[in-house]
Structure 1
Amino acid sequence: MNIKKLLLALFCVGIFISGVAQNPIVQTYYTADPAPMVYDGKVYVYTSHDEDITVDNFFTMYDWRCYSSDDMVNWTDHGAVASLKDFEWMDKTNGAWAPQAIERNGKFYLYVPIHGEGVSVLVSDSPTGPFHDPLGHRLIVDSDDVWTDIDPTVFIDDNGQAYLYWGNPSLFYVKLNEDMISYDRSIGNKGIVPVEMDNHSFGESKAKDGRHHSNYTEGPWIYKRKDLYYLVYAAGGIPEYIAYSTAPTAEGPWTYQGYIMERAPHLAFTNHPGIIDFKGNSYFFYHDQDLSGGEGFKRSVSVEQFEYNEDGSIPMITPTKEGIKESVTNLNPYQKVEAETIAWSEGLKTAKDDNGVIVTNINDGDYIKVRSVDFAKGAKTFKARAAALEGGKIEIRLDAKDGPLLGVCDVSEIEDNWKTFTTKTKKQKGVHDLFLVFKGGEGELFNFDSWEFK
């Protein structure tokens, strides 16, 4: 067993038995700095990506990943949708930090900070890429301090004016032009407006490093709700809490409102917020260090559901391992489901090939859990598209890794090409969690592309 799988097994041994763990929402990679975007009935979460092996015991980050969900419990992996290699003018090989994406006029704009290289922007016709560099140079570079120009957050106001905020431990914004790749240079310092960092706006600094002028640290997230503007951010220096301020306009003045997530043993020394409303519910995204067994440079995205107080204030949010308790819709198993659509998994990785994203690194005892699967009146057959390596089987179980067995799909015919494998299943009605448990001998059993019931 490799180190990653051993750490995962040690951390989750008790949780796997009960089947209640839903945080972190991605287990195949280390993901951080979540930036959720609601578009066309789905939530797309853009993340930074901590590599499995760190360099010089520091953040080792080369690309940005994307995951989507229409039910808030099962997440489809779209792979790395952008990377440092997309910027041909830059020879930076590390530092792909916290991103955020937004849609405007059918285009998708991904704002990405590159540690020590300012903030850049990428554009795509699809939320999952491919993204390209429209400028050939940085969008924002304002300081010689490598920590300052990081963590962009983007927002379009009701009047169509777009804002880009960023900064550590100071805060700045620009008013983006409608093209979203340039900004109004007639205000501030050639277009860049510094935000007043005082106790009234962001609270009294608790950091003792001499850099912080208020409780604000980094990772801003700006949005509007019911005529009130919210700025949520990492606060308090290291280790970070999450706090927020509000304002009557997108340009302030900001008023400090306090903490909404305190420290917890399984949180990393950094944190990064993202908040959305989706299908009538409110969700808070953040990251922790649980999956890595406590390594702060290997973080993982988690999410909690919450409700605003009647006055619009945000309550204290507790980071949990259980995560989202109920899906907002059920999954239809009678259409093609990508194998990389996962609520929870053990031991697996994903990769891209000619089929798109596939599930790899499948060994004996690994599994995929898919939540809230609506079998309606019951299925008769199950089919899986896979490419056998050593060959193996898929046990189709309900509600637990060792739950009732519906059938076993044999994936043992070794061919060079992908093949659809089919088996009959016991009829099961209603909504259940589905467990696809992989069985076989030594080595990697097969690669897995998709599945479907009939």
Structure 2
Amino acid sequence: MTSLKRATAGLLSLLCAAVLLPGADARADNPIVQTIYTADPAPLVHNGRVYLYTGHDEDGSTYFTMREWRVYSSADMANWTDHGSPMSLATFSWASADAWAGHVIARNGRFYWYVPVKNRATGRMAIGVGVADSPTGPFRDALGRPLVENGEIDPAAFLDDDGQAYLYWGNPNLWYVRLNPDMISFSGGPTQIPLTAAGFGARSGNPSRPTLYEEAPWVFKRNGMYYNVFAAECCSEFIAYSTAPGPTGPWTYRGTVMPRQGASFTNHAGVIDFNGGSYFFYHNGALPGGSGYTRSVAVEKFSYRADGTIPTMSMTTAGPPQIAPLDPYVRQEAETIAWSSGVETEVSAEGGMNVGFIENGDHIKVKGVAFGGGATSFSARVASGTSGGRIELRLGGPSGTTVGTCTVPATGGWQTWTTVTCPVSGATGTQDLYLRFAGGSGYLLNLNWWQFHS
């Protein structure tokens, strides 16, 4: 059992007791992921879903100890599906450490993941490129060597309307290259963007860094205006932004997007439009054990002002409103979660991921489940290497009304799967569903998918 699992198992009771009563759990959907620590969000909209690419802070880290990247996705901005780790340091044979903040962009049916890693040969930070045919991977090293290397970090790619792609990166400087259509080579050399007070705000007391720009550029275009949202003035960082008439400037500093908040001395932004709304992703240290080295990704919905400027926003525990209810009458992956307590995820022998390491009292929340006129039964794909346990189907909270209970038998192994079914009564309308797990001591069962039947 990891330290995060032990800590997160008590988070719900802590929130309820401390700051979020009444109905705390119904509103506590930030951070997005509670099964591990995540950092450096890079959202991508593709085919009606948001794919969220993150780093992974190791439990108990006292540095940026990161060995892999993760990916999650959502169609409703409330329930997020864990797709595991489709890329790691091992993907890059020339990399030795530091799977830090990356960015994914889609082009020509492929997905390109630009990441900073330490080059074993030089000892410097370099930017590699992973490529995949699916947004969830697996990703492979596109080059077998760095795309670019100057010791600086935090790449972010941008594809303009005219088909020209750019890669931005840098700390302490800000650089860009013009990517070729193959997305794994570039024309010309790296160009340094002038960091001026007019372009990126003035910093006082640090002659070597006269502007607010610190790291983590995120460049995008909206209504003809180019935006560069970045982490500002370490430490503790806040999120600021600049705008320009073109992708390479000249930039004009516009102010603060998110002030210094949360239990992390860094922050890292990602901004998207999805399904008619605008969303701002960031990270903090909000989970138990959270810090500047054990961070968690969160998201807020926002609206641009009429003149295109971005409002200042604060971190919340609520997260954005759900776009549409979830259909329980089609098979749902167990790792599709709005909030969880105590559980983790792992690779499943049946493909994809499953929820595991489940103990008595752990639970999963699935937000906004549309039962309609009523469900009559519930099926789940389960496994147990011990004596099994029970899945309690509750509405409204982990101690809410029980509408069904499924008994999970011993199956002879944690990846030896069987399907169990149990009757359901009283599950109607649209409600938050809680899968609460009960049984004896130790690990009880694994859960791969579930489905209600009308």
Deviation at 1:3, TM superposition (A): 3.8
Contact 1:350 1:359 in 2 (8 A): yes
Match of 2:440 in 1: 441
Aligned 1:256-405 pairs, distance under 5 A: 256-264=253-261, 266-324=262-320, 326-355=321-350, 356-390=352-386, 391-405=388-402
CA distance in 1, matches of 2:348, 2:6: 27
CA distance in 2, matches of 1:253, 1:18: 46
Deviation at 1:6, TM superposition (A): 4.4
1:27 pairs, out of 8, 20, 34, with 34
CA distance in 2, matches of 1:403, 1:11: 18
Match of 2:240 in 1: 243
Match of 1:8 in 2: 8
Match of 1:453 in 2: 452
CA distance in 2, matches of 1:5, 1:80: 18
| Aligned-pair identity (%) | 49
Deviation at 1:267, TM superposition (A): 3.7
Q: For residue 4 of structure 1, give the secondary structure of its aligned residue in structure 2.
A: helix
Aligned 1:410-449 pairs, distance under 5 A: 410-416=407-413, 417-449=416-448
Q: For residue 292 of structure 2, give the secondary structure of its aligned residue in structure 1.
A: coil
The one-letter amino acid of 2:53's match is Y
Match of 2:174 in 1: 171
Match of 1:118 in 2: 126
CA distance in 1, matches of 2:100, 2:260: 22
Q: Determine if the alignment matches structure 1 residue 45 to structure 2 residue 40.
A: no
The CA deviation string for residues 148-181 of structure 1, in whole angstroms up to 9 with x for no partner, is: x211111100000000000012100000000000
CA distance in 1, matches of 2:8, 2:381: 27
Greater Cα shift, 408-417 or 116-125: 408-417
Deviation at 1:378, TM superposition (A): 1.1
CA distance in 1, matches of 2:411, 2:201: 62
Structure with a larger share of its residues in strand: 2
Contact 1:267 1:287 in 2 (8 A): no
| CA RMSD after TM alignment | 1.4
The CA deviation string for residues 42-77 of structure 1, in whole angstroms up to 9 with x for no partner, is: 0000000001132xx211100000000000000000
CA distance in 1, matches of 2:180, 2:90: 26
Q: For residue 198 of structure 2, give the secondary structure of its aligned residue in structure 1.
A: helix
CA distance in 2, matches of 1:387, 1:295: 35
The CA deviation string for residues 320-377 of structure 1, in whole angstroms up to 9 with x for no partner, is: 11112x2111111111100000000001111113222111110000000000111122
The CA deviation string for residues 218-268 of structure 1, in whole angstroms up to 9 with x for no partner, is: 01100000000000000012110000000000011000001111112x241
The CA deviation string for residues 266-318 of structure 1, in whole angstroms up to 9 with x for no partner, is: 24100000000100111000000011334210000000011111110000111
Deviation at 1:9, TM superposition (A): 4.7
The one-letter amino acid of 1:109's match is Y
Contact 1:101 1:154 in 2 (8 A): yes
Q: Determine if the alignment matches structure 1 residue 66 to structure 2 residue 71.
A: yes
Q: Determine if the alignment matches structure 1 residue 161 to structure 2 residue 164.
A: yes
1:205 pairs, out of 196, 199, 203, with 203
CA distance in 1, matches of 2:138, 2:198: 43
Contact 2:5 2:344 in 1 (8 A): no
Match of 1:188 in 2: none
Gaps of 5+ in 2: 17-22, 119-123
Match of 2:19 in 1: none
Match of 2:224 in 1: 227
Q: For residue 161 of structure 2, give the secondary structure of its aligned residue in structure 1.
A: coil
CA distance in 2, matches of 1:140, 1:74: 36
CA distance in 1, matches of 2:240, 2:374: 47
Match of 1:136 in 2: 144
Q: For residue 66 of structure 2, give the secondary structure of its aligned residue in structure 1.
A: coil
Q: Determine if the alignment matches structure 1 residue 77 to structure 2 residue 82.
A: yes
CA distance in 2, matches of 1:167, 1:112: 12
Greater Cα shift, 34-43 or 327-336: 327-336
Contact 1:337 1:452 in 2 (8 A): yes
The one-letter amino acid of 1:23's match is N
Q: For residue 444 of structure 1, give the secondary structure of its aligned residue in structure 2.
A: coil
Contact 1:153 1:164 in 2 (8 A): yes
Contact 1:292 1:298 in 2 (8 A): no
Deviation at 1:11, TM superposition (A): 4.6
The CA deviation string for residues 72-103 of structure 1, in whole angstroms up to 9 with x for no partner, is: 0000000011001011233x0x3000011011
CA distance in 2, matches of 1:194, 1:296: 28
Deviation at 1:446, TM superposition (A): 0.8
Contact 2:110 2:131 in 1 (8 A): yes
The one-letter amino acid of 2:84's match is G
Match of 1:196 in 2: 194
CA distance in 2, matches of 1:2, 1:277: 35
Number of equivalenced pairs? 437
Q: For residue 79 of structure 1, give the secondary structure of its aligned residue in structure 2.
A: coil
Greater Cα shift, 285-294 or 440-449: 285-294
CA distance in 1, matches of 2:438, 2:208: 54
The CA deviation string for residues 394-428 of structure 1, in whole angstroms up to 9 with x for no partner, is: 00011111111110000023334200011000042
Q: For residue 288 of structure 2, give the secondary structure of its aligned residue in structure 1.
A: coil
Q: Normalization by structure 2: what TM-score?
A: 0.94
Contact 1:169 1:211 in 2 (8 A): no
Contact 2:53 2:104 in 1 (8 A): yes
Contact 1:376 1:430 in 2 (8 A): yes
Q: For residue 295 of structure 1, give the secondary structure of its aligned residue in structure 2.
A: coil
Q: For residue 425 of structure 2, give the secondary structure of its aligned residue in structure 1.
A: coil
